[in-house]
Amino acid sequence: MNDTAKKKERAVLAGLSASSMDEAERSTEVSMEELAQLVDTAGGEVAAVVLQQRQTPDPRSFLGEGKVAELKEIVANSGCDLAVFDNELSPSQLRVLSEELGVKVLDRSGLILDIFAQRARTREGQLQVELAQYEYLLPRLTGMWTHLVRQTASGGSSPIGTRGPGETQLETDRRHIRRKIQKLREELEQVRKVRSVQRRRRERNAMPVVAIVGYTNAGKSTLLNTLTGSDIPANDRLFDTLDTTTRRLKLDEAQEALISDTVGFIRKLPTHLVEAFKATLEELQYADVLLHVIDISSEDMARQIEVVEDLIVKLGAGTTPCIRVYNKCDRYLGVLPRGEDTVCISAKTGEGTAELVRKIAEILGRESRRVTLLLPYDKAGIADTLRREAAVLSLDYGEDGVTVRAVVKPELWGLVREYVQDDGQT
């Protein structure tokens, strides 16, 4: 799908509703509304929606035979260019549906990957999307070729010139994609190493890190702009930010922090996409504070919070201090949430952001900090104190003293502040 001035592709959406219970029906409805937004974001338009109520997908064609026939008729009558399914399809289901419907078939994962491919701007983002695309393609390619080989082999020996070349092409394509995957993983490993060096520099500078997370289109980029006076593009569309952006945030007269925007989360986010974006998302593990931006005006707010917090835990940042930042409060007429680490704001107008900055400074003041120190040998007693009262990560003995990497509690900060290494970089 192309987000250009060309004629928009028309799509029919398809999904399953597992239950007629009100809550389950609403969940399906929200998921399909989100799928329609994804189609719009990718540059298409929705012509029709088809739902089938059944507990489990049909193993052959996802939808039942009768519903597939109904879908085929809708595709023909509405002039649709593609069918988009709300769940991930198996390679064989994708093949069967493509044959039955006679149009391009995408599942939710394929659609999200298409959007990511459009939006990635930096080399790192492009590498991560490309890796996810190849990992998504490999099993589907295999399924398509397996079908071809079975088809040509049915009824005994294959016609001359079909079976052999088909298998050869399958293996050629497999090898090509596996080589590409390996190369991309190696390049992304270099990206991780660069990020690791950057983190160590931040540690030497004792610069705390704040990471903004949240559901896609919750207002993360707008918040970053408001807090830092930046002009990062912040549009009202899904996955507008894929590439991490970092700025300085002034907390008070004496303290600054680095604050980063991250890719937005969404329900049913493809596993291989999360894995491919690990180089970016693992930054959450090293943040001192997370800002979980929540769209309080969303009818699906509770489910969106659950999706984000589950992913935070899976990414290894479940124990990081987190402030729930309820955004778009200027649009909300209900009772506002209250709590120790809860703030209600409008990123657009700036309302509540001063309180948010105070809350960030307060948490940073009470939390431990990861630092690199250079202790002269005549201050060896400080190293002994750190061994007892801090988490020492490494000790390196050099000509000028002992280099100590440690996680230091606030009450020890006065003892070590003057020995923090500073190379003038952030």
Q: Is 426 annotated as a binding residue?
A: no
Q: Is 269 annotated as a binding residue?
A: no
DSSP secondary structure letters along 99-121? HHH-SEEEEHHHHHHHHHHHH--
Q: Is 62 annotated as a binding residue?
A: no
Question: For the chain, first and last CA: distance in Å?
Answer: 39
For residue 75 the two structure tokens come to 């595709």
Q: How many CB atoms lie within 10 A of CB 218?
A: 28
DSSP secondary structure letters along 328-361? -GGG--SPPP--TTEEE--TTT-TTHHHHHHHHH
Amino acid at 247: R
Q: Is 220 annotated as a binding residue?
A: yes
For residue 178 the two structure tokens come to 């596996």
Buried-exposed string 118-131: b where 16+ CB fall within 10 A, e elsewhere: bbbeeebbbbbbbb
Q: How many CB atoms lie within 10 A of CB 141?
A: 17
Q: Is 326 annotated as a binding residue?
A: no
Q: Is 221 annotated as a binding residue?
A: yes
**Total residues found in the chain within this entry:** 426
What percent of the residues of the chain are helix, what percent strand, and what percent coil, each to the nearest 5? 50, 20, 30
Q: Is 44 annotated as a binding residue?
A: no
Which of 114, 134, 243 has the alpha carbon at shortest distance from 183? 134
Place of tokens 């044959």: 99
Q: Please, are residues 375 and 398 in contact by the beta-carbon 8 Å criterion?
A: no
Q: Is 242 annotated as a binding residue?
A: yes
Three-state DSSP state, 263: coil
Q: Is 359 annotated as a binding residue?
A: no
Give every strand in the sheet of 402-408, ordered side by side.
Answer: 369-375, 402-408, 391-397
Q: Is 2 annotated as a binding residue?
A: no
Q: Is 277 annotated as a binding residue?
A: no
DSSP 419: G
Q: How many CB atoms lie within 10 A of CB 24?
A: 13
Q: Is 329 annotated as a binding residue?
A: yes
d(CA 386, CA 390): 5
Compute the Cα dihedral for 38, 39, 45, 46 and give only its sign.
negative
Q: Is 193 annotated as a binding residue?
A: no
Q: Is 77 annotated as a binding residue?
A: no
Q: Is 240 annotated as a binding residue?
A: yes
User: Which residues, 6+ apart, have CB-to-CB distance to 91 below 8 Å?
Assistant: 139, 140, 142, 143, 144
Q: Is 218 annotated as a binding residue?
A: yes
Q: Is 20 annotated as a binding residue?
A: no
Q: How many CB atoms lie within 10 A of CB 290?
A: 25
Q: Is 322 annotated as a binding residue?
A: no
Task: List binding-site positions.
Answer: 214-221, 239-243, 261-264, 327-330, 346-348
Task: List binding-site positions for Mg(2+).
Answer: 221, 241
Task: List binding-site positions for GTP.
Answer: 214-221, 239-243, 261-264, 327-330, 346-348
